[in-house]
Structures are given as structure tokens and as C-alpha cells.
Structure 1
Amino acid sequence: MQKTIRICHLYGNLLNTYGDNGNLLMIQYYARQSGYQVETTIVSLEDHFSANDYDIVFFGGGQDYEQKIVSQDIQRHREALKTYIENNGVLLAICGGFQLLGQYYVAADGQQIKGLNLLDFYTESQDNHRFIGDIEIFDEINQKTYYGFENHNGMTYLQGDLQALGKVITGNGNNGQDKTEGLHYKNVYASYFHGPLLVRNEDLAQHLVQLAIDQINGRLANKTEIQ
């Protein structure tokens, strides 16, 4: 019997700007290349999210209006998402999705939007300025170079021991100051890369799928031992 990778697209009908759905397509492609069927579910306003129902979660970005709506609705999923993350669930967050994992972000109009506070970082806004252009970073953990395009007003500051996805070689990254870009915590990968991220960085797409497969195999092995 062919196994299935279950993908959750968080608020996929609202947070889908900059062509970042291409990340979802890449995950689906490499899952099938690995011999798995793919089941993709959009979890949106008033829908239910369970930490045990998915192998990969994709959380994209959108305009401020949509993100404010999502920021209010998603609070009811906080504990389930925390459980998912701490149990090594695979999660890819881009731009607005990235920002909402933290304490808060400040919208372009100056309004502070409450985040999920799942990871220790926060995002401020710039006055009449955006980080726009090509970007290159080096992922020291996986020893990979990633290429992309950034377009964001937010300036994100990682706190404590939280690790970045990579060190900025060219471009601005999280805040244009500390040479960090994105975030990597357990099996959570977050970034400001558009392009989309996984289309230009196929190794990372394959890595995310393999992480999900490892989790699936681990659960199956534990179930066999229990029986």
C-alpha cells in the first residue's frame, strides 16, 4: 500500500501572494518523486487544525489586510501548532507566515499585530522603505547556499539562542543589520525568500520532504514496537 504525505496549507485561500504557492508545488512534486501519495488540505477561517493530522505544514504570506484577519483566527490553533512544532513536525513559513510565528509584527500602518508567540522573535516595520532585491545566504547547519528574492517591510529580530536559516552573503535578510535571514528551529524553516524559495533551492525542498518521511517512518516503527 502506497504511503501518503499529508500537507496542511494554512490559510492558503488568504495568504498566497508573491507566487509562494510554488513552494507547495515543489513539496508535492518531491513527495511523489519519493514514492508517496500527496493529500493537501487548506485549513482556513473557522477550520480545525490537529497536530496529528499532518506531516508538513506550509504557512505563506499575504497583504496586511489578510494577515490581520489570519492573526486573529489563528490564535485558537496556538496550542495545536506548539505541539506540532515541539514534536518535530515539518513546517515551512514564508514572510507573513514567518512573522506570525513570533511575538508580534508591526504593520506598515504602525499597528502592532499579535503573533502566536511560539518562537522567540519579533518584527518591527520600516518607515517608507522595503528590503527589495536578490539575496544569497549560507545555511551553516546543512552546508548549503540558498538564492532568492526578498521584498518585505518588516525587520525581524531573533532572540536568545534562536538560529537563523542562514547568514546573509548578499542582500538584507531579516533586518539589514545582523546578517541573519529566516529561522531554523527543530523542523521549522522560515524565510523572507520569495521566488519562490523552494523553486530556486531544490535541495531544501527535498530536505523538507525527507524530514517528513523520517517522521512518518518513526511513527510507524513505534506503532510496530507497541503492537
Structure 2
Amino acid sequence: MGKTIDVMSLYPKDMNIYGDSGNVLTIRRRLELYGYEPVIHQYNQGDDWPDHVDLILGGGGQDSGQGKIIDDFFRRADLIRGLAFHGTPMLMICGMYQLFGEYFETAEGSRLEGIGVIGAYTVGRNVRMIGNLVEHSDDFGDIIGYENHSGQTFLRESTTPLGTVDVEGRGNNGKDYTEGARVFNVIGTYMHGSLLPKNPLIADFLIRNAVERRYGALNDGRLATDDQTPEQAAELDRIDTVAEQARKVAAARPR
């Protein structure tokens, strides 16, 4: 049996309306093809927290979905903050990205507190930012996805964006040309798609940090284990080729 990696899908019942479960499928499949044994934990409100978590994925949801999970989310806030601060890799999409910030203020003026992992706050607006999006990142190259949000997120001065966009009316708030945020090994972003199938560099960033935190530095920096078979290596190459083709198609689509 290969080395186990425990992956948590956070609130998939209420925070998965844009197909963000595809991120979980991508992480699981890439782990398998690298020769690891992924264990997927689906955590919903009221569930027991698993004994071990190496990587956490959270998806998007409506304001009503955020309201459903918020009590349980704050019950787990100290635990999640501790994992984040100690380097557990996490990918938080849209609604979960907002809740990882300081607060979300709706267009009507009500305020939903976040857990403060990411130095950012969100203000609701009546105009949505929606459409295909290509952003630029020094670490991940061009990131390809689809944004759909009315909340405008503003990063604190000390917070690093995930990437930058080329024109106004897109990204975190449509004004400062930033999109997403990074802190520790946590990534927050408005990019759906699902994001990870078309952006394997981000998937492997999450996997690498999960593996190294649990098992130590990788031999020669290679993610593949000694258990990886030639067939698995070939399938991983095929998936990456398909991802590159999909990236080109998606990047050429109109807004």
C-alpha cells in the first residue's frame, strides 16, 4: 500500500453549486497516479472531524449556503486557523474564500464574520462579475477559470494576491486588478471551472505541500513515489496533455 494522504472536502452539501467538487476529483486522481493512497473525507455541519487532515478543499455557494454552515464553521474556526497557520495546504473557492477573510458585508448592510485566515474583507454589490477569466501568476503562470460573484473582495496591504488581471471589472473587486489571495499554503480565489483540472500546477502545489508536511522532503523533488507504475505515469502525462488543450480552448473563449 502506498503512502496515505487525507483530503477533506469542506461542506460539500452546501458549498458546491458551481461544480467545485471537480477539484476534489482532480486531487484524488493525481494522488493516485503519483502512487499515493488518497482518503477523501466529506465534512458537513455536525460531522465528526477526522483524526488526520493533510489537504482541505472548499467550494462556492450562495449566501444562503454560507448562512447554513456559519455556526458550525465558527465552531471549527480555531482548528482550521491552526491548520492554516501551520502550513496545511488549502484551496478555498468563492464563498469559502470570502469566509476565510475577515468579514462579508451584504449589499443590504448585514455583516457575516469570517475566520480571518486571509487578510481581506468582502462587500456585496448588486452587479455581478461573471465570465471566463485568465489571470497571471508568477508561480503558476496563466490561471484559467470562470468567475461568478457579486461580492467584491479587498486585500489588506500585507496580503499577496493569487494573480493579476488585465482589465477593470474583473478579479477580486474590479478595480485593483488583483484576483484571489495567498497566505501560508492557503489559496483563495473566485475561479471556478472547476479550477484544478485546467490548472495542474496549482493541484501539484497543494499535493506537494501535503506530502512534504506529512512525509518530509521529496527525493530529488519528484512527486511520484516508488509505487508509481509506468501505466500511471503515462496516464498522468495524458491528463496533463488534455489539460493543456483545455486551457487553450478556455483562454480563447469570449468573456
Q: TM-score, normalised by structure 1?
A: 0.90
User: Which runs of 5 or more structure 1 residues have no equivalent in the other structure?
Assistant: 220-227
Greater C-alpha radius of gyration: 2
Write out aligned runs for 1:15-34 (5 A). 15-34=15-34
Q: Does 1:188 find its partner at 2:186?
A: yes
Structure 1 residue 109 displacement after superposition: 4.5
Given that residues 49 and 80 in structure 1 are in contact (C-alpha distance below 8 angstroms), is that contact kept between their aligned partners in structure 2?
no
- Amino acid aligned to 1:19: G
Structure 1 match to 2:79: 80
- Amino acid aligned to 1:113: L
Deviations 1:86-120 (A, max 9, x none): 11001000000100001111235542111112222
- Amino acid aligned to 1:84: L
Paired residue for 2:149, among 127, 148, 152?
Answer: 152
Q: CA RMSD in A?
A: 1.8
Given that residues 61 and 67 in structure 1 are in contact (C-alpha distance below 8 angstroms), is that contact kept between their aligned partners in structure 2?
no
Structure 1 residue 218 displacement after superposition: 2.3
Structure 2 match to 1:136: 134
Of residues 192-201 and 168-177 in structure 1, the stretch that sits farther from structure 2 once superposed is 168-177
Of residues 86-95 and 40-49 in structure 1, the stretch that sits farther from structure 2 once superposed is 40-49
Q: TM-score, normalised by structure 2?
A: 0.80
- Amino acid aligned to 1:145: D
Write out aligned runs for 1:61-210 (5 A). 61-126=60-125, 128-140=126-138, 142-169=139-166, 172-210=170-208
Q: Which portions of structure 1, spanning 4 or more consecutive aligned residues, are displaced by more than 4 angstroms?
A: none
State the secondary structure of the residue aligned to 1:155: strand
Q: Give, in whole Å, the separation in 2 of the partners of 1:166 and 1:21.
A: 22
Q: Give, in whole Å, the separation in 1 of the partners of 2:49 and 2:109.
A: 30
- Amino acid aligned to 2:156: Q
Percent identity over the alignment?
A: 34
Q: Give, in whole Å, the separation in 1 of the partners of 2:205 and 2:195.
A: 13
Q: Give, in whole Å, the separation in 2 of the partners of 1:20 and 1:91.
A: 14
Q: Give, in whole Å, the separation in 2 of the partners of 1:15 and 1:143.
A: 25
Deviations 1:166-187 (A, max 9, x none): 1113560000011110011111
